[in-house]
Amino acid sequence: MESGDRSETDETEGDEEGLTYAETGVDVEESEAATAALTGAAGLAGDVDESEDGDDSEGVPTEYAGVLDLGDRYLGLTTDGVGTKLLVARALNDHSTVGVDCVAMNVNDLVAAGLEPVGFVDYLAVAEPDERTAREVGEGLAAGAESAGVRLLGGETAVMPEVVRGLDLAGACVGTAPPDGLLDGDAEPGDRLVGWASSGVHSNGLTLAREAVTREHEYADPFPPEPERTVGEALLEPTRVYADLLGPLRRHARAAAHVTGGGWRNLRRLGDRRYVVDDPHPTQSVFAFVQREGSVTDAEMHRTFNMGTGFVAVAAPEAAERLASDTDGRVIGRIEEGTGVAVRGLEL
């Protein structure tokens, strides 16, 4: 870390007792292996063959959305949920923001593929119906949809007391793109990386974050860096919606990555290259708090969280400068020969 950022993240690389994501019950490598097994068994490893009813639409492999080539346009689908961030909301009895997270996690994946979000449906599973909680979830969904410019098309509410404790919230989003609209280009050595700031933890890595901050604190305790907020409120900061980047991305970028589970290693999804990040966006105080309270190493933090940069695009040098100037992004790094991800010299 550069000296100017030491107030934002603590260096604990040598702490053998530091928390890891795997120790809290989430092993990313095991998850990736399970996902590969699921997609392989379901026949999703490659392009979809002609369907039995004669529909000649083809599946287009992308890293962030399921996409069908309909000839005159692409149709894309994503599905995602809020995850264990819901446990923080339940602890504070405040579900007013989790709907934003649900919309954002789906919409941002569509944008990373070059698809314009057009419609969203939600799935709310509860142990028992509660009017206040349902209203708060709905208000968050509406706020997220408005921010993304997407229509809420309805959804499903299921009461399953034997399956769900509290509630679970997930959704699916549909998007479209013209024939030349997908962000499916390959990253090339010499290309630049453009990054956009996150709004905080977003909706990934909460299992590690919760374990870290509750070692010595309650969610209702004042958040030390900003005592006007609680610890729980700092974790509940809604996920930023990146839908406004779609136009500039289509004009200037080759490909894009939504920095979600797996942290900065998401850049590997852009292609088999070496990604060097030497000027990421500043990390918010919540990350330093999580790292300090859990004695989490720098590497584990960057392998788990977005660390202040929630969305990244690849573009040729001149196009990258235009992309940054057309938005609130900035050039954060470059692509080299080789493989792997390095953030300020930290090999991930």
* Coil/strand/helix, residue 128: coil
* Length reported for the chain: 348
| Pair (328, 227) in one structural domain | yes
Range of the domain at 215: 3-29+185-347
pLDDT of residue 28: 62
| Domain-terminating residue out of 177, 201, 225 | 177
* Coil/strand/helix, residue 256: strand
Lowest mean pLDDT among 9-23, 118-132, 189-203, 327-341: 9-23
Note whether residue 102 is domain-resident.
yes
pLDDT of residue 29: 66
| Domain-terminating residue out of 157, 177, 197 | 177
pLDDT of residue 283: 97
Note whether residue 43 is domain-resident.
no
Task: Report how far apart the first and last C-alpha atoms of the chain are (Å, whole number).
Answer: 14
| Pair (214, 297) in one structural domain | yes
Kindly report, residue by residue over 183-219, the tens digit of the pLDDT: 999 999 999 999 999 999 999 999 999 999 999 999 9
pLDDT of residue 62: 81
The answer, yes or no, to whether residue 57 has pLDDT greater than 70, is no
Strands 330-336, 274-277: pairing kind? antiparallel
Please indicate whether residue 287 or residue 32 has the higher confidence score (pLDDT).
Answer: 287
Strands 116-126, 74-81: pairing kind? unpaired
The answer, yes or no, to whether residue 233 has pLDDT greater than 80, is yes
Percent of the chain with pLDDT over 90: 81
CATH number at residue 124: 3.30.1330.10
Note whether residue 46 is domain-resident.
no
Element (H, E) at 331: strand 330-336
pLDDT of residue 194: 98
Note whether residue 94 is domain-resident.
yes
Number of domains in the chain: 2
| Domain-terminating residue out of 132, 157, 177 | 177
State phi, psi for 285 to the nearest 5 degrees: -60, -25
Percent of the chain with pLDDT over 70: 85
Q: What is the DSSP letter of 95?
A: -
CATH number at residue 24: 3.90.650.10
SS (H, E, C) 145-201: HHHHCCEEEEEEEEECCCCCCCEEEEEEEEEEECCCCCCCCCCCCCCEEEEEECCCC
Place of tokens 């990146």: 242
Asked if 172 contacts 258 with a C-beta cutoff of 8 angstroms, the reply is no
The answer, yes or no, to whether residue 51 has pLDDT greater than 90, is no
